[in-house]
Structure 1
């Protein structure tokens, strides 16, 4: 342990430390929320740029399934066995264990249809908040704004249906009674 003796009196050292701390705080020029990267389209907000073959005018969201990687071990012979003229083994073979990473399944984008931003009006979001509140998933005020509490409630509702995303799917909106279910004509 190193000990340093200060030539400054204790009160002056404390004052200098406070001044240094305040100076560092004053240098912090960041504004909350401005250094965040924009949300990835489809993951945190719907996008019209859906998967290949998506119908024109539809909006999409996506979840990303990460790649599954496993470490595979194998034995590799690095030195062959020495066999004596009489057929006996003079020295056994030498092996080493080789480990390599193998992608078992690649990263995958899971696309799903979402209501488009022009559908997500204040009235629609208010109805969404009421529907989630009726199911005990949303405890906030009905504001008509798609805030974080609403997104969390959407994600909780959809997680129970196998979709782990805060972006509302068309299927979930239909399950909540917010979007009409298309009917097939009867003959």
Structure 2
């Protein structure tokens, strides 16, 4: 039996689409949140909180809750054993799956390099510093693009700050900014 050419083309199109969709990751990392969750620096800026350096630049970001799926076996009925120790009837179990909150949603407020400091040269140096640590896989563009924001998030998550917005403390740890003597 031969299939009409339109059916063959339709099947090939579906297979090719599935193949192309499976090959879309370019970073080689589990990037976590989607592009829609990447913070926008301009809209995240806030006035300095009370009691801090009024000349600094501050941002607000939200770290989503982190969930983990836990699967466990629950005994429904115990095994039945004969007096001589032989197994008459094995135990029966059911599988229960639940999502557990590993980390609650957090509102983060932290100091960041000011917009005037975020030059193309600075961002290029940031990209190279993250690349040297194996966190950034992309071209050195000098632009705070999605790949850079994700690399910043990976770096800062290891430091306890799950945000793609660069903190002043992270910039200092990466060697991008100097640390004032009174903060050493």
Q: TM-score, normalised by structure 2?
A: 0.51
Matched residue, 1:61: 59
Q: Is the 8 A contact 1:50 1:111 kept in 2?
A: no
- Pairs within 5 Å for 1:48-127: 48-64=46-62, 109-127=107-125
Matched, 1:44 2:40: yes
Q: Deviations over 1:39-63 (max 9, x none)?
A: 99xx531525232334222111223
**Which deviations, in whole Å up to 9, do the C-alpha atoms of 1:112-133 show, x marking residues without a partner?**
1100110000000000000000
CA distance in 2, matches of 1:161, 1:178: 16
Are residues 140 and 65 of structure 1, via their aligned partners in 2, closer, same or farther at CA, if it must alter by over 3 Å?
closer
- Report deviation, 1:156: 0.4
Match of 2:178 in 1: 180
User: Do the aligned residues in 2 keep the contact of 1:65 with 1:108 (CA within 8 Å)?
Assistant: yes
RMSD of aligned residue pairs (Cα, Å): 3.1
Pairwise CA distance, 1:160 = 0.5
Cα deviation, 1:26-80, whole Å, max 9, x if unaligned, reads: xxxxxxxxxxxxx99xx5315252323342221112233689xxxxxxxxxxxxx
SS at match of 2:182: coil
Tell me which protein shows more helix as a share of its residues.
2
Specify the SS of the correspondent of 2:180: coil
1:184, distance to aligned residue in structure 2 (A) = 3.3
**How far off is 1:108 after superposition?**
6.2
CA contact (8 A) 1:48 1:58 kept: no
Q: Give SS of 1:144's match.
A: coil
SS of 1:109 mapped into structure 2: strand
Deviations 1:4-38 (A, max 9, x none): xxxxxxxxxxxxxxxxxxxxxxxxxxxxxxxxxxx
Aligned pairs, number: 109
State which structure, 1 or 2, has the greater radius of gyration over its C-alpha atoms.
Answer: 1
Which of 157, 160, 167 aligns to 2:158? It is 160
SS state at 1:173 partner? helix
Alignment gaps of 5+ in structure 2? 1-36, 66-104
The DSSP-based 3-state class of the residue aligned with 2:117 is coil
Deviation at 1:183, TM superposition (A): 1.0
Match of 2:138 in 1: 140
